Amino acid sequence: MKKLRMILPMLAFVLAIGMSFAYVKADLAVIQGYIETSPGVWESVDVNCINGNKECRVVFSSDPNTVYMVYPVQNPGEDDKPLTSSSLDPIVLD
């Protein structure tokens, strides 16, 4: 019984550390990008664009017919390309 009382706190500690690493990895997939909602008006969005060979695009659930390209910076220059995604489907934002 004494061994069990010693093992349980250590097991809980190891489990907590493991879960903290899993949580950090999930957050790393979400990055901040920028979309131009109207000419000259930029809005920041949190997206899960995973590197791929397709352009990262988003739509709002309230207006699924308007597709926005996601850029890494506001007011991108000629050399700034959209973020990339592995999916052809746009990300739906609320």
- In whole angstroms, give the CA distance from residue 31 to residue 47: 5
pLDDT value for 58: 97
- Residues belonging to the chain: 94
Question: What per-residue confidence (pLDDT) applies to 81?
Answer: 93
Block means of pLDDT (10 residues each) for the chain, 94 residues, are 65 59 56 96 94 94 97 94 94 94
Q: Per the structure block, which two tokens stand in for 14?
A: 């190891």
pLDDT at 26: 46
Burial, 60: exposed, middle or buried (Cβ in 10 Å; 0-12, 13-18, 19+)?
middle
**CA distances from residue 6 to 12, 13, 14 in whole angstroms, order as listed:** 11, 12, 13
SS3 47: strand
